[in-house]
Amino acid sequence: FSYGDALRCGAIARFSPIMEEVRRFADRGGPVVGICNGFQVLTEAGLLPGALLRNAGLTFVCDDVHLAVANGQLAFTAACPETIVAPIAHHDGCYYADAETLARLEGEGRVAFRYCDRDGEVTEASNPNGSLNNIAGVVNARGNVLGMMPHPERNAEVELGDASGAWVFRSLMRAMIEGALS
């Protein structure tokens, strides 16, 4: 966790000298992925809209969750099946944005993943942290910056589960090979 997350998760890390280069890289179209604390840093740095707040119930959540691919046309999701499984481990993972930002994200197809049940149904009961609209991941307007709370890298090998997390990275590699991202 960045700088102990003593103020707000990612709030101090956004001032880290490397973040200016991350911003320049993203502005040039380079792919940026922020997972869990990285998602928090990207929102604090203004590379993604919204904020990550304390989980509903103010509890730390550690579990495997199911994710519905909300937009299968993104560079990070194009090779993904309809649902994947990824672990979560966070206390501050509740995605929040004001109504106008939420409407823009939804209208522009910028929600990448939503928490869902085993059958792919997006329900209130499948939301582990109270995120608005069950949002588990979003992209920037250009589509080259992804932030998500769940950890697909922790389910990228069969020894770790069903290996469905690897599809996020396969999608990214395919987009880069095809020239969709720099």
Catalytic residues, by residue number, are 36, 151, 153
Can you tell me the distance from the alpha carbon of 46 to that of 136, in angstroms, rounded to the nearest whole number? 18
Q: Which amino acid is at 5?
A: D
Residue 178 CB coordination number (10 Å): 10
**CB distance 111 to 105 below 8 Å:** yes
**CB distance 104 to 127 below 8 Å:** no
**CB distance 104 to 41 below 8 Å:** no
| Rg from Cα positions in the chain | 15
Residue 60 CB coordination number (10 Å): 14
**CB distance 147 to 48 below 8 Å:** yes
Question: What are 81's two structure tokens?
Answer: 């099946």
